[in-house]
Chains A and B, each alone.
Chain A
């Protein structure tokens, strides 16, 4: 049987459109880069060290999880690196090393690994980690306190906090268009509005993330903020302020759109986005936290499988067929 010609036999189709998980992860990281670079330019080496350490430890946790579970090594798919990068973008530049280590552990292992890896996680891993850090070490994400030693030449008070405590009177200290150019404090990669918008539009046009989720999230947030603003303009900030502060743009383009924890059907995607936007403003304006994106998206993650039950009737399905 030597020299026998053998063909590769497999099931149809024999073509593939060339997409892959690895390419998808790298596209998202590429789109996030402008905002990350801006953070590094602003805060210097501390920001760089948080980003580098976060990506490195996230990948390390993934490798450890693969080894411990005797599963194929999946750090090549770029998902762990992406989780690490997004985690760093949400944290302030002054985050201590141990917090990054714990944060990426929670994200990669508690948020994803224990469910069976990428695609099996019910919640966004990055947000699980941020939520647990927020609840466990409140001071870590208190941007006013943790960035107290920095002066970047603009008003160094966390905008959402200022409005919450002093009403819209505090807005006179800010130039809202400056938020587009990262003239606000916050997570090291979450303040550069223009960079995030460009990255988000790139991802939407490439089909990497779903426009249904991003746009409905922004629309839900805008409309709810508008209603609050109209009802009480002295207490509640205008919707443009909400669009450009906190984690709004990160949430719209990089967090709410995470595949595994978001719906896939058209109407569920719209509902998911709108409701996450509404919840965000509710938490910001009348809830217990300054920024609402983290818990709003996590809440909608939980609702996502239920929302996905709203789906079109499959071809030829008999009504009442059980």
Chain B
């Protein structure tokens, strides 16, 4: 945990730990699990029910439609037999289908992607590579309407302590260089910017890409901050980055793209930074769908009752209630915290010290915002105090001396506001109909 420094005159800029030691180049291969599971968004019109069911056979790299209408697909990363299909509710209340697969010992690759030939095209990429390791919504990005005109490749990682993409930069620069050409072809963009730490800028000398180096200070590498610092424009509050014509992709996904079109195999492995209880880090490579439990066991990391396990980094990750949660396409890190290290939130009210206001990179008046959110005034929070400008960095909670879960209130506020809006839209539609 990074404590407040003794002298704290300036606003709290928090430095990323730099990728320092040589040992960290080593990547532990996690063995193929006995059971893998996948979360896929529940198709919106699943009227006729799901067409996949327990007992179905899947092959590695196979595309399986969930419903007869198409739409959502499962991209299997293992070979085996589906053992269970169930409902799952996500972090923001999203409906997911959870599909468990009993994994066969040997991979049998589905040949459809390879048979289609080694051409990098939009529709092929969107069909077979809907998700890439490091970029879960790759298809959504390249199919976004109107089309994006800039792609920013993140070679730094977004959260503290996570060094997954820095590792990729260091060890797979050739793949990355090749992948950049595929990205240009597939996404049809004019500008590709590669974001690097100053120490690694030499790696990109031969690459056909605009390089931007950046001091490793959180939250410089969050998407909306990057759009401001590299392109000099602000994304309007409440809009996605893609609406401003900018797509983001991690270095890992770009390298994976090179492997997909180079070898004709759909990438199925994910590189992870595993942050142990003592703050030390190791890198591991696991099949997507492997449960957190299997990964921690393979790395001999023990967890106890009352600890905290987080998918992602310390600022923006998601805490798990069960070790049986699988890693997904965009899981860059797993963090384990000892119960002694957990700082509990309090229910005391805001004392108006202003630390959050000084910490906020989006210049939101958090001191006022949190008062409205605590009282459920979500619409006023949006119109008066810039709720939708939040870039979700978590620094407000990190610096709060009253230890209010500010970030939690903000996410709840955004969720509730979206519900209010969709209810209003539905009302307006039904009135127009009558």
Contact = CB atoms under 8 A, between A and B. Distances in A.
Q: Does chain A bind chain B?
A: yes
Interface of A: 4-21, 23-24, 72, 74, 77, 116-120, 204-207, 210-211, 259-260, 263-265, 308, 311-318, 321-322
A119 B398 contact: no
Given A316-B224, A318-B237, A322-B383, A13 B314 contact: yes
A118 B351 contact: yes
B33 interface: no
Nearest to A120: B349
Contact of A18 (B1, B305, B395): B1
B318 interface: yes
18 contacts: A5-B305, A8-B342, A16-B343, A17-B399, A18-B3, A21-B402, A74-B348, A118-B348, A205-B7, A259-B352, A264-B353, A308-B365, A308-B368, A314-B389, A316-B234, A316-B237, A317-B389, A321-B237
B405 A10 contact: yes
A15 B2 contact: yes
Looking at chain A's contact residues, the main secondary structure is loop
B124 interface: no
B316 A12 contact: yes
B350 to A, nearest CB: 5
Given A11-B319, A316-B239, A260 B351 contact: yes
Q: Provide the main secondary structure of the chain B interface.
A: loop
Interface size class of B (residues with CB under 8 A): 35 or more
B367 interface: yes
B236 A316 contact: yes
A16 B9 contact: no
A77 B400 CA distance: 15
Nearest to B244: A316
B394 interface: yes
B9 A211 contact: yes
Contacts of A318: 236-237
Nearest to B411: A11
A8 B403 contact: no
Nearest to A207: B8
Given A5-B303, A119-B352, A14 B319 contact: yes
Given A12-B315, A315-B237, A316-B239, A7 B343 contact: no
B113 interface: no
Contact of A13 (B348, B383, B389, B394): B394
Given A16-B1, A118-B348, A316-B238, 15 more contacts: A8-B342, A13-B315, A13-B394, A13-B397, A14-B337, A15-B1, A18-B4, A23-B401, A24-B353, A119-B351, A207-B7, A265-B354, A314-B386, A315-B391, A316-B388
7 A-B pairs closest in CB distance: A264-B354, A207-B8, A119-B351, A11-B408, A314-B386, A13-B394, A315-B362
B63 to A, nearest CB: 33
B307 A7 contact: yes
Given A10-B345, A11-B405, A16-B1, A5 B304 contact: yes
B315 A10 contact: no
Contact of B320 (A9, A23, A308): A9
B290 to A, nearest CB: 18
Given A5-B323, A264-B367, A316-B235, A119 B315 contact: no
B257 interface: no
Contacts of A206: 6-8
A202 to B, nearest CB: 10
A24 B315 CA distance: 24
B402 to A, nearest CB: 6
B143 interface: no
A321 B304 CA distance: 50
A317 B237 contact: yes
By CB atoms of chain A within 10 A, which of B160, B239, B355 has the most?
B355
